[in-house]
Amino acid sequence: MTSDQTWAARAACASVPPDRLFGKGAEQRDARSLCFTCPVRMECLAEALDSELSFGVWGGLTERERRALLRRFPEVTNWSEWLRREDDELVAEIHARRAPRILARVR
């Protein structure tokens, strides 16, 4: 986990009730639409992956999507660095301003 979490204050969800981000199923898909407007989405996602956070929407990915990434890439020790890769199709998909098709791509 990174020690500097100042990015969290700039998050699009900083003033949203936390319950909105920790729903199940369709509620998660709805909640993550806010993520795609967020200026610190990649910092949030890296934090969630580095910490292996199990619940809620983080960085635009649902818990299922994050688990799939963690299973597919167990060798990654620094998700922030991994998310900065410019030559990877999956990273480009994650950076897009829409819901990525993570589950279809990492199985």
In the chain, domain spans: 17-106
pLDDT at 71: 94
pLDDT digits 0-9 by tens, 57-106: 999 998 889 999 999 999 999 999 999 998 889 999 999 888 888 777 77
* Residue 98, SS3 per DSSP: coil
Angle (CA) 1 68 97, round 5°: 80
pTM to 2 decimal places: 0.87
